[in-house]
Amino acid sequence: MKCFKIFLYIVVALLWLLPASCTQDQICLSNQHAVQTGFYSGRSSVDKDTMLQNSSVFGVHPQRDSIYATETFQTMFLPLSFDQDTTIFVIDNNSLRDTLWFSHSKEMAYISRECGFTFNFTIDSVWFTRVFVDSVAIDVKEVNYSENFENVKIYIY
Amino acid sequence: MLRYIFISVLFFLSLSVRSQVVQEVVEVPRGFTLGVNLAGPINKLFDTDRTGISFLTRINLKEDLFFIGEAGFENVNFEKTAYHYDSNGTFIRVGAEMDVLPKKEEGSKDNLLVGLQYGFALQEQGSSYFLVENGYWEDYTGRMGSNTINTHWIELSGGPRAELFKNFYMSWNLHIRVSVASNNASLMEPYIVPGFGNGDSRLNAGFSYVLEYMIPWTR
């Protein structure tokens, strides 16, 4: 009887352990410090999204490889720099080039025990050249981990 | 008047005799126990980053009421790609447990314990290295100095306890813990709060698996 009781207690205790051994790790998201931009027609009086044809985008200071290489897109995800307060990108549209300067501040944040740390950004201002870009508007200033908002609207001719 | 006193004395004598008879039939062991909670070593089987153990005592306050006190430590050390982490901490837990087993076999010393406890943990944690990956621009690396954290919580517990051999008990309990206060001023939440569990969460479930030996003070 005692042996049966010991066996029963151990079995029940082991059953409690099963959920603990089966817990799943949290999925950690990547590229969460990228400004999300959308292209809109500068000729329309209301926001009308538009595509940028066969264009390339790359960062400068220091110069980097293309984020987009001869692609057609309406939305861009532009990663912000951890080292500098201003991140600069060049958009090359069939040899017509415009430059965007994103001035930003950052704050370190703790995500979770699985994923560690990240930076959340606030976009302070955006400067731009006006070759084919008409104007730029900041819609959502905060670039935060796990949030998915269009931060900046770029109006093009 | 004499008749009244005589009847009263007889009544109280009969009560006394009855209570003695009851005590002889239901023998409840009284004393205190010294035990070890094996939850820490068992946790290490599933998560090798954690090292801990705790020791406890139960004291009979009444036949069905126990004081429970527990003290232990839990350390966490790991090196992941995202960050390295070190935490050393101790905890205490005090409270009361009630035996709610409704009917026992004659001579049985088994219990079904339901308890309410207060817990307190003191730990020091830090990160000697962390990495924030950018993927396009330069990554960022840094370190986070150590800081000391106090955590207070309340917990409910419940589970059976059985006497396997004379004065030797085994029990397991399920615990529901709610954090009520923490003074963490750091950006980083504790990976594990000793005795409490996941530092990311205010509500945790846990288990304990206890072996204890009773030192009786009454027969």
The gap from C-alpha B132 to its chain's centroid, in whole angstroms, comes to 38
**How far is it between the farthest Cα atoms of chain A?**
89
Residue range of the domain that includes A57: 26-156
| Count of structural domains within chain A | 1
* A16 part of a folded domain: no
Question: Do A68 and A92 meet the contact criterion of CB atoms below 8 Å apart?
Answer: no
At A54 the pLDDT is 92
Helix (H) or strand (E) holding B111: strand B111-132
Helices (H), B83-190: none
Give A86: exposed, middle or buried? Use CB within 10 Å, 0-12, 13-18, 19+: middle
Instruction: List CB contacts of B1: < 8 A, sequence separation 6 or more.
Output: none
At B217 the pLDDT is 82
pLDDT digits 0-9 by tens, A90-139: 999 988 999 999 999 999 999 988 899 999 999 999 999 999 999 999 99
Distances from the Cα of B1 to the Cαs of B11, B15, B40, in angstroms? 15, 21, 68
What average pLDDT is seen over chain B? 87
Taking the CB of residue B118, how many other CB atoms lie within 10 A of it? 13
Chain B residues with a Cβ under 8 Å from any Cβ in chain A = 42-43, 46, 80, 82-83, 130-140, 160, 162, 164-165, 170, 172, 174, 187-189, 191, 198-200, 207, 209
Q: Please report, rounded to a whole number, the percentage of residues in chain A having pLDDT higher than 90.
A: 71
B44 has pLDDT over 50: yes
Q: Please report, rounded to a whole number, the percentage of residues in chain B having pLDDT higher than 90.
A: 73
At B20 the pLDDT is 45
Q: How far apart are CA B53 and CA B199, in angstroms?
A: 18
Q: How far apart are CA B213 and CA B169, in angstroms?
A: 6
* A67 part of a folded domain: yes
Which residues on adjacent β-strands are paired with residue B142?
B130
B65 has pLDDT over 60: yes
* A11 part of a folded domain: no
Q: How far apart are CA A47 and CA A153, in angstroms?
A: 9
Pairing of strands A133-138, A152-156: antiparallel
- Domains, chain B, ordered by start: 30-218 (2.40.160.20)
Q: Which of A16-20, B20-24, B163-167 has the lowest mean pLDDT?
A: B20-24
A113 vs B137: CB contact, 8 Å cut-off?
no
At A27 the pLDDT is 87
Surface of A (70-129) touching B: CB under 8 A: 79-83, 87, 108-110, 112-113, 115-119
Q: How far apart are CA A66 and CA A140, in angstroms?
A: 25
| Prediction ipTM score | 0.83
* A80 part of a folded domain: yes
Going by pLDDT thresholds of 50, 70 and 90, the confidence category of residue A141 is: very high
* A9 part of a folded domain: no
